[in-house]
Chains A and B, each alone.
Chain A
Amino acid sequence: MLSRTAENLYWLARYVERAEYLARTIDATLRVTALPAAYIGKTNEWDSALLTAGVAASFYQKYEEANEHNVVDYLSFSTDNPSSIRNCIEAARLNSRSVRTALTSEMWDTINSAWIELQEVWSKGTSTREDLAKFLRFVQETSLRFDGSAYRTMLRNDAYWFSRLGLHLERADNTARILDVKYHVLLPEEEHVGGPLDFYQWSSILRSVSALTAYHWVYRETLKPWLVADLLILNGTLPRSLASCYDNLVRNLDQIGVAYGRQGPAQRHARGIRNRLEHSNMNDIFQHGVHEFIQEFIADNSRLGEIITKQYLI
């Protein structure tokens, strides 16, 4: 297939995934900030939301204070923020138009209908909490529909695999970023500075990667920080865990390699990261330093993106 088509499919999936992740982050933050101050301590949750979205620096060039109004606006609607939900949806639609021939009509319909629907939200904004909640739910549903229609309607060929690469790479990045910002509340009990207040932080993290229920099914335990970290990093059964993202990335890259009859640096690099995740346990990671581990992962993950681009997309 055309390199440009593969590139568009890859980014299309990334934009949709990112839009969903931002919607989840805002949702989770709204919940936690609705609690009485005594339950969440002194941290500014809106500031954390900016950090996990990776846009804190550009935000503070425009705003003085990270409060609900400013952050929701910046993450959702701002045209200045290149990765606001709005810009993600716009970019996803533009990419979809450029690769219409590679999309199934169901996928196009999902993106195009969402784009049409959201024009009104862009022009009017969301004046009430209820409106905002509706909007955030709509974004998440759009992503689910898009993902579902890709899964159910696309031919299993390189077009599908490149779009899956985008999805999993973005997903791994998002999960890693939450961990990066919140790692301090995930330290084992004895090293812990917070206290029981952090319960709400933990559940908020799980909620933003839609894993709160999953946690209980996997561990059948009350929320424990190192188990939260274990779930998000190493548990291969959770679709948003780093381990699961890399299982998928390795598989999709292998499928491309087989179809093209050729392996390359992308396949090797992805396998390297997967192996490291496979052979880690939480004890080692805590010993080594969670923060360092996560930062290394983020760098490795973005390097994989560069390698894929070089090998296939240009």
Chain B
Amino acid sequence: MATENKSGSMAVAFDEMNIPGGDLRPAYQELARWLKETPPEALEYRRQEAELLFRRIGITFAVYGDAEATERLIPFDVIPRIMSGSEWALLEKGLKQRVRALNMFLRDIYHGREVLRAEIVPDDLIFQNPVFRPEMNGQQVPHDVYVHIAGIDIVRIDANDFIVLEDNARTPSGVSYMLENREIMMRLFPDLFARHRVAPVERYPDELLSALRSVAPQGASGEPTVALLTPGVYNSAYYEHSFLADKLGIELVEGRDLIVKNNEVFMRTTEGVKRVDVIYRRVDDDFLDPLTFRPDSVLGVPGLMSAYAAGNITLANAVGTGIADDKAIYSYMPDIVKFYLGEEPILKNVPTWRCREPKDLAYVLDNLGELVVKEVHGSGGYGMLIGPAATKATIEAFREKLKREPEGFIAQPTLALSTCPTCTASGLAPRHVDLRPFVLTGSKTTTIVPGGLTRVALKEGSLVVNSSQGGGTKDTWILDE
């Protein structure tokens, strides 16, 4: 399957269903048969039904800076993305390894800093990084777990080539879509499920709750109280927060519902205050505690950080994890994995040029037209240059930005993300996809439910899968073989 991009160069993308020459990959054979039997109108009808369901359930997200549509649906594509059990097994092993290394790296950065002494990662990348939290230096976090919930963005470029595009170790979102997409697919296509053996994902809330309970501080009771801290109903991921709180059976709290007394955290209830042991927080570090971080934050809880320092509350994820998923650190991840685990990394990195290094910068400036350049601190696909798809003027403007502040950028080759069949206005067509599996780390175990969130770039040839920029989602099936 060839994808033509605007500059006219051809990138050959791996198609997950079709083998060049006309054969089908085994995981997709039953789906292909089913598609042949199903008239396009029936598919379109189901698509509309799915949209209606999403709207009625209220599975919406907010787009910031978009006054007209404060609540939008993420387009849902009804064609599932399918992976075989053996493909998943490889991926799972790689993900666990990666997250183990992330946790060890964080523990080290905020304690002994062996990784810096061994000169695996340069000092200034840590200490001059705004997401490094000096408040966490030497602080013990319960059970030494920093990243309880990780969302690792994976792209596939070949049959056995899974590559990590990005680690999300702060407050990764999207898991509600993994769960709701499955629910809706099972409602709409029961017979398609009957023809496959799809590994279930519905265990996720249970596993999340046990992971969160397992990391409660030592002083907590046998039945630790867990709460989910949300910035509130105007946050773009609010639906997910309320969805998860509901599935976990825990209180959905806002900053104003919590108070800190004698370095202990309580929530205000109709029966007086009640002690909280673990906070699954979906509020960024900066807004957590106005006494420690941004004083203007009204989303946080004054005194939360001192309760944290006193060891009376577990925050999941821990404060300061941003230093591990920073794009500048990303390029060192293969070395970080080797350093802590003494193993070869199972999942590869995208080759990355660090613009802070003069040799790399020179190369990047010479090849802007072919590269993807990302802001080190950007997210959500904003502030990034996709060379092959950009106009001359955009490239030149970016060149100036790069020269002014090279340390703020990294560059990567344009990857030919794999494609999956997707419903489009002109019938089924291949569209580029990525995958975000969710890795849970408790005090003793690391678990991953088989699947994740598949995001799909709905525009032909587009490589941008972010929901804020026209991406959609698919249900992700791992076949139980």
**Chain B residue at smallest Cβ distance from A96:** B58
At the interface, yes or no: A1 with Cβ under 8 Å from chain B?
yes
Are B58 and A97 in contact, CB atoms less than 8 angstroms apart?
Answer: yes
From 112 to 135 in chain A, residues with beta carbon under 8 angstroms from any chain B beta carbon are: 112-113, 116
Given contacts A2-B253, A112-B56, A113-B56, contact A98 B271 (CB under 8 A): no
**Residue A4 interfacial (CB < 8 Å):** yes
Most buried by A among B55, B232, B245, B252: B252
Contact status A100-B242, CB under 8 Å: yes
Which residues on the A side are within 8 Å of B233 (C-beta)?
94, 97-98
A112 touches B270 (CB 8 A): no
A112-B56, A112-B58 are known contacts. Are A2 and B269 too (CB-CB below 8 A)? yes
Chain B nearest CB: distance from A200 CB in Å?
42
- Residues of the B chain whose Cβ atoms lie less than 8 Å from the Cβ of A101: 242, 245-246, 251-252
A160 at interface by CB-CB < 8 Å: no
* Contact (Cβ within 8 A) B270 A162: yes
Determine if A1 and B58 form an interchain contact, defined as CB atoms under 8 angstroms apart.
no
Chain B contacts for A116, CB-based, 8 A: 55-56
Point out which of B232, B251, B257, B271 has the most chain A C-beta atoms below 10 A from its C-beta: B271
- Complex Cα spacing A107 to B267, Å: 26
Give Cα A312–Cα B269 distance, bound, in whole angstroms: 8
- Is the Cβ of A260 less than 8 Å from the Cβ of B271? yes
> How many A-B contacts if CB must be within 8 Å?
52
Range of interface residues on A (Cβ < 8 Å)? 20 to 34
| B33-63 to A contact mask, C-beta < 8 Å, 1/0 | 0000000000000000000000110100000
What 0/1 readout, one digit per residue, does chain B (415-456) give for beta carbons within 8 Å of chain A? 000000000000000000000000000000000000000000
Known A-B contacts A2-B257, A4-B254, A4-B257; the reply to A97 vs B270 at CB < 8 A is: no
Q: Mark B224-258, 1 if CB is under 8 A from A, else 0.
A: 00000000110000100011011000011110110
Contact among B56, B242, B254 with A97 in the assembled complex (CB-CB below 8 Å)? B242
A1 lies within 8 A of B238 (CB): no
B203 at the interface (CB under 8 A from A): no
Main secondary structure of the interface of A (DSSP, over half): helix
Which residue on chain B has the smallest CB distance to residue A7? B270
B268 contacts A by Cβ under 8 Å = yes
Q: Which residues of B contact A (CB under 8 A)?
A: 55-56, 58, 232-233, 238, 242-243, 245-246, 251-254, 256-257, 267-271
Which of A2, A112, A162 sits near B251, CB closer than 8 Å?
A2
User: Quick check: A109 and B56 within 8 Å, CB to CB?
Assistant: yes
* A3 x B58 contact (CB < 8 A): no
Does A72 touch B at the CB level, under 8 Å? no
CB pair B270 A260 closer than 8 Å: yes
Query: What's the least CB distance linking B80 to chain A, in Å?
Result: 25
Task: Kindly state the separation between the CA atoms of A237 and B298 in the bound complex, as whole angstroms.
Answer: 48
Determine if A108 is an interface residue (Cβ-Cβ < 8 Å): yes
Q: A1-B269, A2-B268, A314-B268 are in contact. List 16 more A-B contacts (CB 8 A).
A: A1-B251, A1-B270, A2-B253, A4-B254, A5-B251, A94-B233, A97-B233, A97-B238, A100-B58, A101-B251, A109-B56, A112-B56, A113-B56, A116-B55, A260-B270, A313-B270
In the bound complex, how far is the Cα of B254 from the Cα of A142, in angstroms?
A: 29
Q: A112-B58, A113-B56, A116-B55 are in contact. Are A3 and B269 (CB under 8 A)?
A: yes
Complex CA gap A3/B266 in Å reads: 12
- B contact residues around A5 at 8 Å (CB): 251
> Interface digits, A59-95 against B, CB 8 Å rule (1 contact, 0 not)?
0000000000000000000000000000000000010
Say yes or no: A2-B267 contact (C-beta < 8 A), given A101-B252, A109-B56, A113-B56.
yes
A154 to chain B minimum Cβ distance, whole angstroms, is: 14
Contacts of A256 on B, CB cut-off 8 Å? 270
Q: In the complex where A97-B238, A101-B242, A101-B245 touch, is A6 in contact with B58 (Cβ < 8 A)?
A: no
Specify the chain B residue showing the minimal Cβ separation from A105: B57
Closest 9 A-B residue pairs measured CB to CB?
A: A100-B242, A101-B246, A312-B270, A3-B268, A6-B270, A98-B233, A101-B245, A97-B233, A260-B271
Task: Determine the residue in chain A with the shortest Cβ distance to B256.
Answer: A4
Residues of A within 8 A of B256 (CB): 4
Whole-angstrom distance from the CB of B229 to the nearest CB of chain A?
Answer: 12
